[in-house]
């Protein structure tokens, strides 16, 4: 039985002019024990999909189930199996950290849960903040509390929706160590993130969404292997010739261009020399997930959806 | 790092079923208003005292209500019930709109709470707040005039039914509203006029016939009148009629409220 199963999930929002199709028939499974990445640009439908999974939104058609429990017809069992770390930094200003965790635990029908709450506080570096009011915490600390709230009822399936957006390096490290450990202990993890290096490092399998459709779904290693495997990067003090600019990724002075083989590398260099450009710090390396992502989002390669 | 399994020694208690989590949500809702009780309990008690002092001073001896009952004595149950009703409404409506606007409603939305659990907890906390404020008003105002209790059962029945009705109505308003000012508008343009025109400050018998008839269309009139009957053993209409009207209104409001919660009206998109 899959940890999470999406079946032909469609979501349309009634907008004033014409209905917006946020999800357009999304189907895939996440197996128990997987560390799964859900990637896509803003507006691709990631958060809508997670919202339907969590019961925050309802699918227009299609079904979603968690460990075999349908999120609509058997919502209580589905939600008990699920721990969601929401994207927005929300908190209840009336309560202390410990109160918030006890309350959240109680909503799931789990009472007298202080031993586990103490462990969570400890692992997330919140032990000395247990009695602080939520309002007094910094953004990073509030984010940790959100993670603790999601895990307080010990869900077998954990969903992290952009958990490291705007989070400092230390918390990121703490969070990934903790979540990786939970994954090793058998928890299924579904992660959406904008940090592709995180997804590459952590996720065994990845789905990419674009305009409400799955455009890539495969093991992370297979996605990396199947792409244009060479990345040419250099620094340049002047504008790139137009013929190259269309395919390049430019970050300040740094230019990155994918190349499929050595001949293509040569031709790129020839164009640069021809335009009188003097590339500095020239490197040829392997493409990473970010390159795969950009390539797929541009639609330059056929869809890569493994069966 | 301690192994995750170590917490198993403490064996947390688990409960399921359609009312699972209700206890916690009720506790949270009560704790929420209690933490700011100066604003949620003390302030309405003070407001009621001001009404009593001003109206009691101005109108005592000039307005005839029931035979042999002084105006201030007559006013006290009205003020108590008005405070119960307004605060029961304020509790569920303000809690829900705050959670919606600050976004922390997500903690409830992801929890396995049934619509029955939401309803029981929000309405229950509204009743607790209504009763707390009503008791406060009664304890303070009882010093100002002799107050007789004819039938405590009527008092209890109308307090609970009225507070539950207003708690459920507040829940509906909280679900419907998207901004604080919509709740304020609901309070100022619906709740306030209906409570003020319900006979809190006067007996509807003293009104011209047309306005007396209009007052009889206001369900708040029956809540106040039935409640007052518990104190004086006399009222504008029979307490059984009041009970029938309040009971029917309560059932209708609860049915609407439960339906909206079940479909996730404006909270699950």
Could you tell me the pLDDT band of residue B2, with boundaries at 50, 70 and 90? very low
A102, B43 in Cβ contact below 8 A? no
Nearest by CB to A149, from B4, B9, B107: name it: B107
Q: Is the domain of A17 the same as that of A156?
A: yes
Q: Is the domain of A194 the same as that of A264?
A: no
pLDDT at A306: 53
Q: What is the dihedral of CA A148, A152, A156, A162, to 10 degrees?
A: -30
- Separation in Å, CA of B100 to nearest CA in chain A: 11
pLDDT at B4: 46
Q: Is the domain of A206 the same as that of A257?
A: no
Domain-located, residue B25: no
Mean pLDDT across chain B: 89
Q: Is the domain of A19 the same as that of A161?
A: yes
Is the CB of B209 inside 8 Å of chain A's CB atoms? no
In 3D, which of B115, B33, B47 has the Cα closest to residue B80? B47
pLDDT at B1: 40
Domain-located, residue B69: yes
A281: containing domain: 228-286
ipTM value: 0.87
Is the CB of A72 inside 8 Å of chain B's CB atoms? no
Domain-located, residue B127: yes
Q: Is the domain of A201 the same as that of A235?
A: no
Q: Is the domain of A212 the same as that of A232?
A: no
Name the token pair of A160: 């992290």
pLDDT at A269: 87
Is the CB of B109 inside 8 Å of chain A's CB atoms? yes
**What backbone phi and psi angles, to 5 degrees, belong to B190?**
-120, -60
Q: Is the domain of A75 the same as that of A135?
A: yes
Tell me the residues of chain A between 131 and 160 that have a Cβ less than 8 Å away from chain B.
Answer: 149
Name the token pair of A305: 């959806």
Q: How far apart are CA A134 and CA B30, in angstroms?
A: 18
Number of domains in chain B: 1
Distances (CA, A) of B8 to A123, A307, B11, B13, B112: 16, 40, 5, 11, 22
Closest chain B residue to A178 measured between Cα atoms? B1
In three-state secondary structure terms, A294 is: helix
B150: containing domain: 36-263
pLDDT (mean) for B213-237: 92
Is the CB of A263 inside 8 Å of chain B's CB atoms? no
A171, A138 in Cβ contact below 8 A? no
Give per-residue pLDDT as tens, B157-169: 999 999 999 999 9
Binary contact (B110, A54; C-beta < 8 A): yes
Query: Does the pLDDT at position B7 exceed 50?
Result: no
Q: Is the domain of A114 the same as that of A252?
A: no
CA torsion sign, A6 to A10 to A13 to A17? positive
Give per-residue pLDDT as tens, B124-135: 999 999 999 999
Binary contact (A56, B110; C-beta < 8 A): yes
Give per-residue pLDDT as tens, B87-139: 999 999 999 999 999 999 999 999 999 999 999 999 999 999 999 999 999 99
Q: How far apart are CA B264 and CA B69, in angstroms?
A: 49
Is the CB of B5 inside 8 Å of chain A's CB atoms? no
Query: Does the pLDDT at position B226 exceed 80?
Result: yes
Is the CB of A127 inside 8 Å of chain B's CB atoms? no
pLDDT at A102: 94
Number of domains in chain A: 2
Give per-residue pLDDT as tens, A27-61: 999 999 999 999 988 888 999 999 999 999 999 99
In 3D, which of B234, B221, B246, B62 has the Cα closest to residue B164? B246
Binary contact (A84, B111; C-beta < 8 A): no
Q: For chain B, give the number of residues.
A: 269
The mean pLDDT values, 10 residues at a time, for chain A of 307 residues are 95 82 93 94 90 94 95 94 92 93 93 92 90 90 92 95 80 87 94 84 92 89 73 84 81 83 84 85 78 73 52
Domain-located, residue B20: no
Q: What is the dihedral of CA A217, A218, A219, A221, to 10 degrees?
A: -110
For residue A176, give the CATH number of its domain.
3.40.50.300
pLDDT at A307: 45
Give the residue, B72 or A304, on which the prediction is more confident: B72
Domain-located, residue A85: yes
Is the CB of B112 inside 8 Å of chain A's CB atoms? yes
């Amino acid at each position: 039985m899959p940890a999470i199963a999406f079946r032909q999930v469609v979501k349309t929002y009634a907008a004033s002019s014409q209905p917006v199709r946020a999800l357009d028939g999304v189907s895939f499974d996440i197996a128990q024990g997987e560390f799964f990445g859900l990637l896509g640009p803003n507006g691709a439908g990631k958060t809508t999909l997670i919202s339907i999974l969590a019961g925050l939104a309802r699918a227009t058609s299609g079904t979603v189930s968690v460990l075999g429990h349908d999120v609509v017809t058997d919502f209580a069992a589905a939600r008990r199996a699920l721990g969601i770390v929401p994207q927005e930094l929300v908190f209840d200003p009336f309560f202390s950290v410990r109160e918030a965790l006890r309350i959240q635990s109680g909503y799931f029908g789990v009472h007298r849960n202080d031993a586990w709450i103490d462990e969570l506080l400890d692992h997330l570096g919140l032990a000395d903040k247990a009695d602080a009011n939520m309002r007094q915490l910094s953004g990073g600390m509030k984010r940790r509390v959100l993670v603790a709230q999601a895990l307080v009822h010990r869900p077998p399936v954990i969903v992290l929706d952009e958990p490291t957006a705007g989070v400092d390096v230390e918390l990121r490290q703490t969070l990934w160590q903790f979540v990786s450990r939970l994954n090793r202990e058998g928890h299924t993890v579904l992660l959406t993130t904008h940090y592709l290096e995180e997804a590459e490092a952590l996720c065994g399998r990845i789905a990419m969404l674009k305009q409400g459709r799955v455009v890539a779904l495969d093991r992370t290693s297979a996605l990396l292997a199947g792409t244009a495997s060479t990345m040419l990067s250099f620094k340049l003090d002047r504008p790139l010739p137009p013929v190259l600019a269309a395919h390049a990724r430019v970050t300040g002075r740094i230019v990155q261009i994918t190349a499929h083989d050595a001949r293509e590398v040569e031709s790129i260099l020839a164009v640069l020399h021809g335009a009188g450009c003097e590339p500095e710090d020239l490197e040829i390396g392997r493409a990473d997930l970010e390159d795969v992502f950009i390539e797929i989002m541009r639609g330059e390669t056929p869809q890569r959806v493994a069966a | 790092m301690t192994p995750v399994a170590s917490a198993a020694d403490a064996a947390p208690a688990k409960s399921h079923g359609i009312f699972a989590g209700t206890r916690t949500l009720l506790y949270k809702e009560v704790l929420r208003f209690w933490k700011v009780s100066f604003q949620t309990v003390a302030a309405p008690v003070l407001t009621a005292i001001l009404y009593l002092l001003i109206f009691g001073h101005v109108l005592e001896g000039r307005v005839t209500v029931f035979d042999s009952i002084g105006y201030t004595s007559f006013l006290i149950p009205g003020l108590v019930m008005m405070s119960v009703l307004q605060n029961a409404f304020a509790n569920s409506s303000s809690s829900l709109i705050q959670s919606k606007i600050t976004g922390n409603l997500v903690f409830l939305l992801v929890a396995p709470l049934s619509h029955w659990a939401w309803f029981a907890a929000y309405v229950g906390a509204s009743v607790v707040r209504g009763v707390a404020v009503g008791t406060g008003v009664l304890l303070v105002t009882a010093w100002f005039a002799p107050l007789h209790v004819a039938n405590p059962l009527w008092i209890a029945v109308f307090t609970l039914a009225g507070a539950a009705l207003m708690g459920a109505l507040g829940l509906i308003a909280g679900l419907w509203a998207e901004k604080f000012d919509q709740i304020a508008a609901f309070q100022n343009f619906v709740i306030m006029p209906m409570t003020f025109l319900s006979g809190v400050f006067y007996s509807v018998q003293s009104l011209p016939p047309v306005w007396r008839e209009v007052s009889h269309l206001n369900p708040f009139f029956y809540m106040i009148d039935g409640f007052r009957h518990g104190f004086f053993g006399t009222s504008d209409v029979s307490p059984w009629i009041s009970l029938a009207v309040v009971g029917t209104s309560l059932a209708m409001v609860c049915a609407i409220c439960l339906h909206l919660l079940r479909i996730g009206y404006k909270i699950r998109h």
